[in-house]
Structure 1
Amino acid sequence: MPNESPLVNIDLSPESKRNLRDLAKRYRNIRSDIEPVIEQIQVGDFIGDRISGLGEEYRIYKVRVKNSNIQKGKSGGYRLIYQVESPTSVLLLTIYSKSDQEDLTANDILDIINQV
């Protein structure tokens, strides 16, 4: 019997659901683009850059994801921001297209967390 690693449960914040729905209207491949990232997180591989300036109580990461609908690579792709709540629980805070929006500030991210 193969060893099954415990899966990480991923929840979506209301903002991430709304943003994903809105982006899917313009970018048909968004779900297949972010699926490999979600799968990596589900097996406990917390990828991306940890966002500083939020204090030690928050483990927030930002991942650059290629948008296959545009030809700009990861630099013009999506930014997926998630919070590691525990080793088995992750909250997807938001996703946005870098071509639509500049980087979020630490205060923007704290506002999203406070809404949840």
Structure 2
Amino acid sequence: MPNEQPLVLIDLTPEYKQNLRDLSKRFRNIRSDVQAIIEQLQQGNFVGDRIAGIGEEYIIYKRRVRNSSIQKGKSAGYRLIYQVESPTSILLLTIYSKSDREDIGVNEIRDILADFSGESV
């Protein structure tokens, strides 16, 4: 019998959906670029660099995603920010193009979390 691992549920914040929609107008391949990362997350592979300073109860990661629409390597790709809510639940917080902005701040991540949960973080 194949070892069927339960898939991790992935939820999206309105911020993530809006950013993905905006980026997809400029970068045709963004959805397929991100899909490989989402599949890794669904398998329970929490990839990326943990972001510190938000609070111990929040497990937030930043993951580089290659932008196949431009040939500049990972550093010019996207950044996908996500929260591990539990071993079987992930919340995609936001995505942005590295060519549009530098790093995301801890306060901005807190704001996204607060907007989504309806409470202050």
- Fold shared, TM-score > 0.5 on shorter chain: yes
- Tell me, what secondary structure is at the counterpart of 1:24? helix
> What is the rounded CA distance, in whole Å, between the counterparts of 1:12 and 1:114 in structure 2?
14
Aligned to 2:26: 26
- 1:109 equivalent in alignment to 2:104: no
**Which structure 2 residue ranges, 5 or more long, are not aligned?**
117-121
> What is the rounded CA distance, in whole Å, between the counterparts of 1:101 and 1:112 in structure 2?
17
> What is the rounded CA distance, in whole Å, between the counterparts of 2:46 and 2:88 in structure 1?
11
Give the count of matched residue pairs: 116
TM-aligned CA deviation for residue 102 of structure 1: 1.4
- Tell me, what secondary structure is at the counterpart of 1:80? strand
**Which structure 1 residue ranges, 5 or more long, are not aligned?**
none
Aligned to 1:6: 6
Matches for 1:27-106 after TM superposition, within 5 Å: 27-106=27-106
TM-aligned CA deviation for residue 89 of structure 1: 0.4
Aligned residues: CA RMSD: 0.6
Identity of aligned residues (%): 72
> What is the rounded CA distance, in whole Å, between the counterparts of 1:27 and 1:104 in structure 2?
20
> What is the rounded CA distance, in whole Å, between the counterparts of 2:89 and 2:42 in structure 1?
9
Runs of 4+ in 1 over 4 A off after TM superposition: none
> What is the rounded CA distance, in whole Å, between the counterparts of 2:104 and 2:35 in structure 1?
22
> What is the rounded CA distance, in whole Å, between the counterparts of 1:40 and 1:50 in structure 2?
16
| Aligned amino acid, residue 53 of structure 2 | G
- TM-score normalised by the chain length of structure 2: 0.94
